[in-house]
Chains A and B, each alone.
Chain A
């Protein structure tokens, strides 16, 4: 029995050493993201391996890895798991459409803002196609039920700007869509980019015509890093500034939208097309 155990342990150590050797070639930047959120990060089913992860945040991750001279490895996991992974130091960072919140700033290192087109700049309400354009003002929304994703920017916006509405909190956008159809609430608060993606694929959903007033600090996304990696955070901020100066954000966003099958709403100069 002892012998068997010893042999098993040796084998395990050997495997570990071999695995360790093979990974020591080039430094790898591990980035966690939740690829179920077009156009920010999603899966292109026609591709395999690491190439299948596409979207704005993936372009950004590639750019950061390139600038750092590292090899990018995307670690896909659920949105919750992304935060856990960064907190535990299992990944170097997470780029997954995070908005700035006070709680996050307390527990993580957050980068400077980056702007993914109209995804976070504009926050809107969507509704059933038969109610399209019915709820354009705060007054027309009074007394209605409004859905928003839990712990999201949309939830805080609803509380802040639609005090006369009854807020219904939902777990994720897919469930929210089903609930909207079910009549659990009349309108659903989403970022415009996500709303566009939903409407492009669901003919029974339409914009309500209402837009939230979005405070400057909410309009960007941030990269989530471990509390202890100050050095990397500083480097990421430098890289973000460089990308912004080079005007890369709009290119990436248009690419992501085109891949996701959403009509591109900006021209090359960054002006919105009507």
Chain B
């Protein structure tokens, strides 16, 4: 392996194909991720509510949904959504990009629903009991007592889900939907400089995921420590100066 030529090849590729990587690839990857996680979160919330439903049949059906989606590889789900569903629903004339976005949404919804459910169930049972004994209804307890506390567990986990999905969108490149990994496939297909393309794509993924994961862990700390946000000047300064809290 000759590292000197790899360096110059990377420069050459970037000067010639930077648009393919950064404008087309990165924007499509981010778009897919944002669609998958935001709609996935909405759907996931619905799934989580149904999972905690009073009716046994609904709980059973939802757990099948979650188990099937979490128990099969995402690549397989992509194949089904891109090839099988359009044949079953021929009146829906959607692009591969839309189908993969839907598949990622559904996939994300199963994971996110578990995030919601565990976030809600992690709130101490005593909170519910106390709220109910003070005369709040079940709905009020959920809205005013449980959810505000559950959010603390849920939001950082959602951030992690975003990072996970961001990386999983790479599998959508099987259908050349234009994401970063598709850029890798097309550029290496035209130039046969595979390793160099991989390095470039890897750097771009890292440039996005690293700040994001830092942001999530900062957020996680803040959520775990509600006092963090209050006007505690001493503490704020200590944090800004890099001291431990």
Give the interface residue-count category, chain B: 20 to 34
The listed residue (A36, A75, A84, A89) touching B79 by CB distance below 8 A is A84
A15 to B193, CA, bound (A): 43
Partner of A45 from B16, B83, B92 at Cβ < 8 Å? B16
- Cβ–Cβ < 8 Å partners of A80 in chain B: 174
Interface size class of A (residues with CB under 8 A): 35 or more
How many Cβ-Cβ contacts under 8 Å join chain A to chain B?
Answer: 101
Nearest residue, chain B, Cβ from A176: B194
Interface centre among B16, B87, B89, B91 (most CB of A within 10 A): B91
- Name the segment of A17-25, A149-157, A226-234 touching the other chain: A17-25
Q: Is B17 an interface residue (CB 8 A)?
A: yes
List which B92-147 residues lie within 8 A (CB) of chain A. Answer: 92-94, 96
Q: For residue A27, give the distance in angstroms from its CB to the closest CB of chain B.
A: 14
Residue-wise, chain A 189-233 has the 8 Å CB interface mask toward B (1 for contact) of 000001001101111100000000000000000000000000000
Contact A16 B92 (CB under 8 A): yes
* Shortest Cβ gap from A257 to chain B (Å): 12
- A168 nearest CB across to chain B (Å): 17
Q: In the complex, how many angstroms separate the beta carbon of B183 from the nearest chain A beta carbon?
A: 9
Chain B interface SS verdict (over half): helix
A134–B193 Cα gap in the complex (Å)? Answer: 24
Inter-chain pairs besides A17-B91, A174-B194, 19 sampled, C-beta below 8 Å? A16-B91, A19-B94, A35-B189, A37-B189, A38-B192, A42-B186, A43-B187, A78-B175, A81-B79, A84-B79, A88-B87, A89-B87, A173-B194, A174-B192, A178-B195, A181-B2, A194-B192, A201-B191, A201-B192
Residues of chain B touching chain A, judged by Cβ–Cβ distance below 8 Å, are: 1-2, 5, 16-17, 19-20, 79, 82-84, 86-87, 89, 91-94, 96, 173-176, 185-195
- A contact set with B: CB distance below 8 Å: 12-13, 15-17, 19-20, 22-23, 35-38, 42-45, 75-78, 80-81, 84-85, 88-90, 173-175, 177-178, 181-182, 194, 197-198, 200-204, 260
